[in-house]
A and B are shown apart, each in its own frame.
Chain A
């Protein structure tokens, strides 16, 4: 038997004081052996205190830096402290902890470098009270998927999912750099170009436990447009291969 694998679960949170404690508690209950880190992205409310009281380690960024920087902080810890795998989920309680275990499984088994919890992969997979995306968001999402598929030559059903699990190769890639403005999209594009083994697993998304979504429909539409431009530029960028990835290829 090999030593038990060390897993880090991190939760980027920006002003989520009403839901973050429940998410932390749920994760600790479901995965007692994993370490839980809340990356407080410069919240102005009591997010850090609530998370700490719920038993999570809290890394507070001194000022709001955006989702990408918050995620990179988690990956940085995973890299520095040599975790075998890590996963992140949103602090608003929309992701089920049950799905967290499911997306971690292929990474821990060494079958994938990056696993994405997809809300759209299996339309049949649903349950009462599951989250239903609004029409503009559905359209935006569908544009994203087509654009990304074209830009990276890979098919994904849910490119904006905030539920992901990562193995050592993905940890090395994302701790080195994480896109600031289109975190989910660009990181996926880069992971594909670096030749990471990416897998999607169908998950269910729940309605928000508390607070409101930070993105309105109009913003979502504008976001879609800008993302297309950014992805276009990204596909032109020359990708520098990370040394560690070459090592992994050779072994």
Chain B
């Protein structure tokens, strides 16, 4: 059988078994991810308000590693035959949403920076004119 047929069969195969090794690997990854988040918060490198979203992501990863059936159920709910493909699709969607959230945070910060720049400009103008009056 050619390689292409193998790939084709794999895609058609509905029950993709996830090996114990893969599960352990995924579990370790999820745990490391959660520890990293905790560490960042502990060192004040991540604001508390952003913890929730990342923690949910980390916990979801862990839950999927422990209960692989959940992924298969989710995949069949979305009408995707291959759970691995579904995983990639979901991960991509979540990553996209996080990026969008980040851009909106950046936009808001841009507005704040503009407002600060305007305050500084007006205050400096006031200080300069006051100094001019004194001399």
Name A residues whose Cβ lies closer than 8 Å to a Cβ of B: 37, 39-40, 57-63, 65, 69, 72-73, 76-77, 80, 180
Contact = CB atoms under 8 A, between A and B. Distances in A.
Given A37-B125, A58-B125, A59-B118, 18 more contacts: A57-B129, A58-B128, A59-B121, A59-B122, A60-B121, A60-B124, A60-B125, A61-B118, A61-B120, A62-B120, A63-B117, A65-B114, A65-B117, A72-B114, A73-B122, A76-B118, A76-B122, A80-B122
Contact of B121 (A39, A80, A180): A39
14 contacts: A37-B125, A39-B121, A40-B121, A57-B129, A58-B128, A59-B118, A59-B125, A61-B120, A62-B120, A62-B121, A65-B117, A69-B117, A73-B121, A73-B122
Chain A contact residues: helix, strand, loop or mixed: mixed
Nearest to B125: A59
A148 to B, nearest CB: 24
Contacts of B124: 59-60
Contacts of A77: 122
A72 B125 contact: no
Interface string B111-135: 0001001101110110011000000
A72 B115 CA distance: 9
B121 A61 contact: yes
A62 B117 CA distance: 6
